[in-house]
Structure 1
Amino acid sequence: MAATELKLFDFSKEPIRVLHFTWIAFFLTFYVWFNMAPLATTMLDSIDWLTKSHIKVLMICNVALTIPARIVVGAMIDKYGPRRVFSGLMVVMGIPAIFFAFGNSFIQLMVARLILGSIGAGFVIGIKMVANWFPAKMVGRAEGLYAGWGNFGSAAAAGSLPFFTIHLMDKWLGFGDDSWRWTLFLNALICMIYGMVYWFLVKDNPPGKKQIMAKKTEPMMVTSYKDLIQYILWSFPLVGAMGVLAWKIQTVQIVTDGLSHNLYSENVLYLIYGVLALLYVGHVIKTLQVNLPYLKAGVPEKDKYSWGSVAALNSTYFANFGAELAVVSMLPMFFESVFAPLMNDAGEKIMTAEMAGLVAGSFAFVNLVARPLGGLLSDMMSSRKRTMLIYMIGIAIGFFGMAMIGKYDAVVEGEQTIVPMFDGMWWLVVSVIITIGCSFFVQGAEGATFAVIPMVNKKMTGQIAGMAGAYGNVGAVIYLVIFSLVDAKTFFYIVAAGAALSFIFCWLMLEEPKGSHGEDEDDEFEN
Structure 2
Amino acid sequence: MTMSIMTKSNKATRIDMFNFSSVQMRTFHLTWLAFFLCFFGWFGLAPMLQIVRDDLGITTDQIVTTNMVAVASTVFMRLFVGWLCDKIGPRITYTWLLVLGSIPVMLVGLSQSYEQFLIARMFIGAIGASFVITQFHTSVMFAPNVVGTANATTAGWGNLGGGVTQQVMPFVFAGALAYFGSEHLAWRYAMIAPGFLLLVMGFVYYRYTKDTPEGNYSEIEEKVAHSKSGNSGKVFKEALKDYRVWALFLIYGACFGVELIVNSKAALYFADYFTMDLKTAGLIAGLFGLMNLFARSLGGMLGDKFGKSNGLKGRVKWLFVSLFCQGIALVIFSRMGTIPTIIGSLLVFSIFVQMSEGATFSVVPFVNKKALGAVSGIVGAGGNAGAVAGMFLFKKELTGLEWPESFMILGFIVVAVSFTVFAVKFSPVMEKEAEKEMEELLASVKETQLSPKRVPA
Aligned sequence identity (%): 31
Change (3 A) 1:116 1:487: closer
The one-letter code matched in structure 2 to 1:190 is: L
Quote how far apart the aligned CAs of 1:163 are.
1.8
Match of 1:403 in 2: 331
Q: Distance in 1 between matches of 2:183 and 2:285?
A: 31
Quote how far apart the aligned CAs of 1:385 are.
3.5
Match of 1:34 in 2: 43
Match of 1:189 in 2: 196
Q: Does 1:446 align with 2:374?
A: no
Change (3 A) 1:429 1:130: same
Structure 1 residue matching 2:211: 3-state secondary structure: coil
Match of 1:143 in 2: 151
Q: Distance in 2 between matches of 1:37 and 1:311?
A: 30
Change (3 A) 1:362 1:97: closer
Quote how far apart the aligned CAs of 1:438 are.
3.0
Match of 1:102 in 2: 110
Of 362, 372, 375, the match for 2:300: 375
Quote how far apart the aligned CAs of 1:434 are.
4.4
Q: Does 1:203 align with 2:210?
A: yes
Change (3 A) 1:108 1:333: closer
* C-alpha RMSD of the superposition: 3.6
Match of 2:438 in 1: 518
Q: Distance in 2 between matches of 1:221 and 1:69?
A: 15
Change (3 A) 1:81 1:496: same
Match of 1:310 in 2: 245
Q: Deviations over 1:355-376 (max 9, x none)?
A: 7765544333212211011111
The one-letter code matched in structure 1 to 2:294 is: V
Of 135, 158, 163, the match for 2:171: 163
Match of 2:374 in 1: 463
Of 91, 100, 105, the match for 2:99: 91
Structure 1 residue matching 2:145: 3-state secondary structure: helix
Q: Deviations over 1:95-114 (max 9, x none)?
A: 22233233345444332221
Quote how far apart the aligned CAs of 1:165 are.
3.4
Instruction: Answer 1 or 2: which has greater helix percent.
Output: 2
Q: Deviations over 1:230-288 (max 9, x none)?
A: x3xxxxxxxxxxxxxxxxxxxxxxxxxxxxxxxxxxxxxxxxxxxxxxxxxxxxxxxxx
Q: Does 1:498 align with 2:413?
A: yes
The one-letter code matched in structure 1 to 2:434 is: G
- Asked if the contact 2:167/2:286 (under 8 Å) is kept, the reply is no
Structure 2 residue matching 1:136: 3-state secondary structure: coil
Q: Distance in 2 between matches of 1:114 and 1:207?
A: 37
Structure 2 residue matching 1:152: 3-state secondary structure: helix
The one-letter code matched in structure 1 to 2:249 is: N
Quote how far apart the aligned CAs of 1:30 are.
1.5
Q: How does 1:236-255 map to 2 (within 5 A)?
A: none
- Asked if the contact 2:259/2:353 (under 8 Å) is kept, the reply is yes
Match of 2:28 in 1: 19
Q: Distance in 1 between matches of 2:284 and 2:179?
A: 33
Q: Distance in 2 between matches of 1:333 and 1:182?
A: 21
Structure 1 residue matching 2:25: 3-state secondary structure: helix
Q: Does 1:72 align with 2:80?
A: yes
Q: Distance in 2 between matches of 1:102 and 1:352?
A: 26
Match of 2:451 in 1: none
Q: Distance in 2 between matches of 1:312 and 1:490?
A: 26
Q: Which runs of 5+ in 1 are unaligned?
A: 232-306, 341-348, 407-417
Q: Does 1:507 align with 2:427?
A: no
Q: Distance in 2 between matches of 1:44 and 1:178?
A: 14
Change (3 A) 1:502 1:179: closer
Match of 1:244 in 2: none
Q: Distance in 2 between matches of 1:218 and 1:523?
A: 35
Q: Distance in 1 between matches of 2:287 and 2:98?
A: 29
Quote how far apart the aligned CAs of 1:352 are.
8.7
Quote how far apart the aligned CAs of 1:15 are.
1.4
Compute the TM-score of the two structures, normalised by the length of structure 1: 0.68
Q: Deviations over 1:78-135 (max 9, x none)?
A: 1010000000111112222233233345444332221221111011011111111111
The one-letter code matched in structure 2 to 1:461 is: L
Match of 2:258 in 1: 323
- Asked if the contact 1:312/1:506 (under 8 Å) is kept, the reply is yes
Q: Distance in 1 between matches of 2:68 and 2:318?
A: 33
Q: Distance in 2 between matches of 1:74 and 1:132?
A: 13
The one-letter code matched in structure 2 to 1:515 is: A
Compute the TM-score of the two structures, normalised by the length of structure 2: 0.78
Quote how far apart the aligned CAs of 1:500 are.
3.8
Quote how far apart the aligned CAs of 1:62 are.
1.9
- Asked if the contact 1:363/1:436 (under 8 Å) is kept, the reply is yes
Q: How does 1:57-68 map to 2 (within 5 A)?
A: 57-68=65-76
Q: Distance in 1 between matches of 2:197 and 2:376?
A: 26
- Asked if the contact 1:374/1:448 (under 8 Å) is kept, the reply is yes
The one-letter code matched in structure 2 to 1:316 is: I
Quote how far apart the aligned CAs of 1:460 are.
1.4
The one-letter code matched in structure 2 to 1:505 is: T
Q: Distance in 2 between matches of 1:105 and 1:487?
A: 27
Change (3 A) 1:360 1:77: same
Q: Distance in 2 between matches of 1:324 and 1:310?
A: 20
Quote how far apart the aligned CAs of 1:143 are.
0.8
* Range with bigger deviation, 158-167 or 131-140: 158-167
Match of 1:270 in 2: none
Q: Distance in 1 between matches of 2:45 and 2:267?
A: 18
Number of aligned positions between the proteins: 415
Q: Distance in 2 between matches of 1:107 and 1:490?
A: 29
The one-letter code matched in structure 1 to 2:438 is: G
Change (3 A) 1:519 1:488: farther
Q: Which runs of 5+ in 2 are unaligned?
A: 6-11, 449-457
Quote how far apart the aligned CAs of 1:149 are.
0.8
Q: Does 1:154 align with 2:73?
A: no
Match of 1:389 in 2: 317
Quote how far apart the aligned CAs of 1:461 are.
1.2
Q: Does 1:81 align with 2:16?
A: no
The one-letter code matched in structure 1 to 2:305 is: M
Match of 2:454 in 1: none
Match of 2:348 in 1: 437
Q: Deviations over 1:12-70 (max 9, x none)?
A: 3331111111111111112111122233344456x5x5434554443333223111111
- Asked if the contact 1:396/1:497 (under 8 Å) is kept, the reply is no
Q: Deviations over 1:469-520 (max 9, x none)?
A: 1111111122222354356676555444434444332223332764276345
The one-letter code matched in structure 1 to 2:153 is: L
- Asked if the contact 1:29/1:119 (under 8 Å) is kept, the reply is yes
Match of 2:134 in 1: 126
Change (3 A) 1:453 1:183: same
Change (3 A) 1:60 1:437: closer
